[in-house]
Structure 1
Amino acid sequence: MPQALEGPAATTASAAASGTPPQARRWAGVATMFGSGLSNQTGAAIGALAFPVLGPLGVVAVRQYVAALVLLAVGRPRLRSFTRHQWWPVLLLAAVFGTMNLSLYSAVDRIGLGLAVTLEFLGPLAIALVASRRRLDAGCAVLASAGVVVLMRPQPSTDYVGMGLGLVAACCWASYILLNRVVGRRIPGTQGAGAAAGVSALAFPPVGIVVAVGHPPTAWAVLCAVAAGVLSSAVPYLVDLLTLRTVPAQTFGLFMSVNPVLAAVVGWIVLGQGLGGPEWAGIGAVVAANALSIATQRT
């Protein structure tokens, strides 16, 4: 989350002072970033295993509960001290947080994990490209657009609703980033993120009750949903906080580019969601656009 980007310098200095070789820190950072991405996508795939029983809505409800417990424990927001000026972006962030997860999981249910995550990834990529005035980034935007056209090309089996849900998730992720910047400036530490997660979770108990009544959950389905919350919310958040203490934000953003590839591989292994050559080409174009844009930025 953006809040973590505000204070890595101090902790990086402490890591350097500890005498740990820079190369060792770099490899440790790469390992933790890979582990975070793999955990995130594996959690999403495991959550999808519960779709036949709980549906995407039920899985997202459980994930929101887990995320709220983790972020409230880490952020420890002092809710009574929040002003109206601080509350409105928190409430918007809470709405975006829930909508983002629901649209993503609904897209995963319809078009598969790899394609859904690739479309969602367009959100942060669009923000990065729009904020830049370099000609190279204009080329990256064209490359990413070509990838999307390939992914969404008309076919008899094309699920446009699923594609649309993936794009909704992308818009939500972009909004999530922008709102997190506002919250990070107005509320110290990770209190804002914790408050937003808590508020978002409050909207899901009625949903959980309706799902449980309509489709009585099995122990296996609940376990999968909880695992999705832990692996896709708790683990990545905590690991990323630690990683950003020793890894530059630019490197972190560059490594994030592999998430669509990880999602496609995990979706194939766990869910049996194989992709054809054109789909891999589209994913590769989006990943390459983001990687090229970040790798050529001046630090």
Structure 2
Amino acid sequence: MAAMAGSGLSNQTGAAVGALAFPVLGPLGVVAVRQYVAALVLLAVARPRLRGFSRSQWWPVLLLGGVFGTMNLSLYSAVDRIGLGLAVTLEFLGPLTVALAASRRRLDAGCAVLAGAGVVVLMRPRASADYTGMALGLVAACCWASYILLNRVVGRRIPGAQGAAAASAVSALAFLPVGIAVVIGRPPTAGAVLCAVAAGVLSSAVPYLTDLLTLRRVPAQTFGLFMSVNPVLAAVVGRVVLDQGLGTVEWAGISAVVTANALSLATRHRPGPVRT
């Protein structure tokens, strides 16, 4: 439990620290650095044999790399506009939708309604509403859902973490011109670069390695259930690190989305032991 809590806290803290560099690097620059850090870590851990990949292995890797970069860019752009808590909550709709889409249980249909109600609350019309930021959060959700589905394909075709490492390398290469353009157009400060690198380490390297070890000991259902707290962690970290406060209505919307996911996962039947 401590490892899972640490992973989630590291992920959201990394996003908040990265947001501190927005005034200098912008979301695009921070995401570029994060992609570089993620690629270096995953390549060092997985050591993929890229030359041995076939065409049927490369196409989902390329798609996964594109989705990976788009997901992070849309999320960080949303964080810049609507705050960490709301952005992560909207992004969380991606895996929640994937989990509910394949189910035929009435309870899951009710969970979908509950999550939808939470989104309506978060996106309700008001003078201060930033619909562009909310749309970016939903784009991140779509990307996360695609990321999950593509990861399944990559996992079936490429052993271990080689596929994820190759996809991160593809994404980093795609962001290389972006990083050069940002440096030329907006010369970064040492502090901004350190914040961006810290975001890459805390939001990519630490969660990946921690989750890899955790999933060897904890059932996937328990792991997914614990992930439900990420929007809450994001809201708390956003308040502490970025001074982004949320009102009672926003907390109600976040709670609805979190409860829907937790209730759906908690009531799923675990597979029984295999009899021989």
1:169 CA displacement: 0.1
User: What amino acid does structure 2 have at the position aligned with 1:70?
Assistant: V
Q: 1:262 aligns with which of 233, 255, 263?
A: 233
Give the C-alpha shift of residue 224 in structure 1. 0.1
Is 2:31 the partner of 1:57?
A: no
**1:174 CA displacement:** 0.1
Q: Secondary structure at the match of 2:43?
A: helix
1:237-287: CA deviation from partner (whole Å, max 9, x where unpaired): 000001111111000000000000000000000000000000000000000
**Distance in 2 of aligned mates of 1:158 and 1:172:** 23
Kindly report which structure 2 residues correspond to 1:271-282, keeping only aligned pairs within 5 A, or say none.
271-282=242-253
Q: Which residue of 2 aligns with 1:92?
A: 63
SS at match of 1:155: coil
Cα deviation for residue 204 of structure 1 reads 1.1
Cα deviation 1:89-143 (Å, max 9, x = unaligned): 0000000000000000000000000000000000000000001000000000000
Q: Give the deviation of 1:167 after TM superposition.
A: 0.2
How many correspondences in the alignment?
270
Residue identity matched to 1:72: L
Equivalent of residue 9 in structure 2, options 38, 42, 65: 38
Partner of 2:83: 112
Amino acid corresponding to residue 104 of structure 1 in structure 2: L
Distance in 2 between residues matched to 1:121 and 1:75, nearest whole Å: 27
In 1: Cα distance, 2:157 partner to 2:3 partner: 29
* 2:131 aligned partner: 160
Which SS does the other structure have where 2:169 is aligned?
A: helix
Task: State the match for 1:246 in structure 2.
Answer: 217
**Shift in Å, 1:168:** 0.2
Q: Within 5 A, what are the aligned runs for 1:174-185?
A: 174-185=145-156
Amino acid at match of 2:5: F
Task: Tell me, in whole angstroms, the C-alpha distance in 2 between the residues paired with 1:164 and 1:202.
Answer: 26
User: Residue in 1 aligned with 2:119?
Assistant: 148
Q: Deviations over 1:199-229 (max 9, x none)?
A: 1100111101111111110000000000000
Query: Equivalent residue of 1:223, what SS?
Result: helix
Q: Mean Cα displacement is larger for which, 107-116 or 72-81?
A: 72-81
Which runs of structure 1 show a deviation greater than 3 angstroms over 4 or more consecutive aligned residues? none
**Following TM superposition, by how much is the alpha carbon of 1:74 offset from its aligned partner in structure 2, in angstroms?**
1.2
Cα distance in 2 between the residues matched to 1:249 and 1:181? 14
Partners of 2:125 and 2:183 lie apart in 1 by 37
1:128 and 1:60 mapped to 2: Cα distance?
27
1:201 corresponding residue in structure 2: 172
RMSD: 0.4
Q: Give ranges in structure 1 of 5+ residues lacking alignment.
A: 1-29
Correspondence 1:192 to 2:163: yes
Partner of residue 48, structure 2: 77
What's 1:9 paired with? none
Match of 1:291 in 2: 262
Percent of pairs with identical residues: 84
1:128 aligned onto 2:99: yes
Q: Distance in 1 between matches of 2:118 and 2:135?
A: 15
Instruction: Name stretches of at least 5 consecutive residues in structure 2 with no aligned partner.
Output: 271-276
Taking the aligned partners of 1:204 and 1:92, their CA distance within structure 2 comes to 15
TM-score by length of 2: 0.97
